[in-house]
Amino acid sequence: MNDKLKSKDYAELLAPLQLELNNLTHWLQHTRKRMVVIFEGRDTSGKGGVINAIAGTLNPRHVRTVALATPTERERSQWYFQRYVQHLPAAGELVLFDRSWYNRAGVEKVMGFCTDTEYRQFLKEAPRFEQQLVDDGILLFKYWLAVDQKQQEKRFAERAADPLKRWKLSPIDLEARRKYAEYGKARNRMLAATHTSQAPWAIVEFNDQRRGRLNLIRHLLDQVPDTKVPQSRLRLPPLKTKLGTEHYPQSLRPIKERH
């Protein structure tokens, strides 16, 4: 097994990919295309980290992350896909789903938050729904982040011990640890039912999260054509006044360093 990628090496490998991601967003705006990327995986698999690696250097006016909370009573009474549809991209936008409509095939199925009828109906409807998205011109990509149980348990322990990460452990996450096998069966059934030619799944190993992020981003960039859009060089106009110090009203004092 390869040693985990060091932070310095990771940063060096990520930097050129982030430039290509910027080119991708310029291409989306230039062509007015729309892109959706779905990130699914077990708890602690690394969905948030790879989304941050992708979106961290991109224009938030054109790139959005969608991570929906538990549906309200009103949302539960709607067509299942309805609350996701409102977050789909407009022309020139990229939307990253940190979990998605596939909640129904995972946590809702395993934890009993939906009926068997609703679950079976979802497995039938999801490919049809995604076919409509693709037929309408949306570029749709679906990633499953794979992590083994030993690595997952290690990350659970790290989160439990770190006050800054403890918020990531919900009661549902803790309960899910007891249902590891059930989640695996639900995942395999979901992948079998929804891996289609128009919207295929890509599985990326995330035992080493840094390598996983690089591999996923590289794969995503390889799925689209050359996205290099000619851009004119940005030149700053000359200042008409001399550089000076900012002055504020006496009643407002800038906050100074306090140690």
Nearest residue to 98 via CA among 39, 37, 165: 39
* Domain extent at residue 51: 7-149+181-222
- Kindly report the CATH number assigned to the domain that includes residue 75: 3.40.50.300
Helix (H, G, I), strand (E, B) or coil at 35: strand
Residue 243 lies in a domain: no
Helix (H, G, I), strand (E, B) or coil at 122: helix
Per-residue pLDDT band at 2 (split at 50, 70, 90): low
For residues 152 and 42, what is the distance between their CA atoms, to the nearest angstrom?
Answer: 8
Is there a contact between 139 and 224 (Cβ–Cβ < 8 Å)?
yes
Condensed to tens digits (0 to 9), the pLDDT of residues 49-79 reads: 999 999 999 999 999 999 999 999 999 999 9
Instruction: Report the 10 Å Cβ neighbour count for 55.
Output: 17
Q: What is the mean pLDDT of residues 23-31?
A: 95
Here the contacts of 184-190 (C-beta below 8 Å, separation 24 or greater) are: 186/105, 186/106, 186/109, 186/110, 187/42, 187/106, 187/144, 189/105, 189/123, 190/102, 190/105, 190/106, 190/123
Condensed to tens digits (0 to 9), the pLDDT of residues 167-202 reads: 777 777 777 788 999 999 999 999 999 999 999 999
Structure tokens at 257: 């360093």
Residue 216 lies in a domain: yes
Segment holding 64, helix H or strand E: strand 63-66
Residue 241 lies in a domain: no
Residue 89 lies in a domain: yes
Number of separate domains in the chain: 1
In angstroms, what is the C-alpha Rg of the chain?
Answer: 22
Q: What is the pLDDT of residue 255?
A: 81
Mean pLDDT computed over every residue of the chain: 92
Distances (CA, A) of 103 to 118, 134, 218, 221: 12, 20, 26, 26
Most confident of 109-113, 224-228, 252-256: 109-113
Residue 176 lies in a domain: no
Residue 259 lies in a domain: no
Residue 232 lies in a domain: no
Which amino acid would we find at residue 89?
Answer: P
The conformation of residue 146, written as its DSSP 8-state character, comes to E
Residue 172 lies in a domain: no
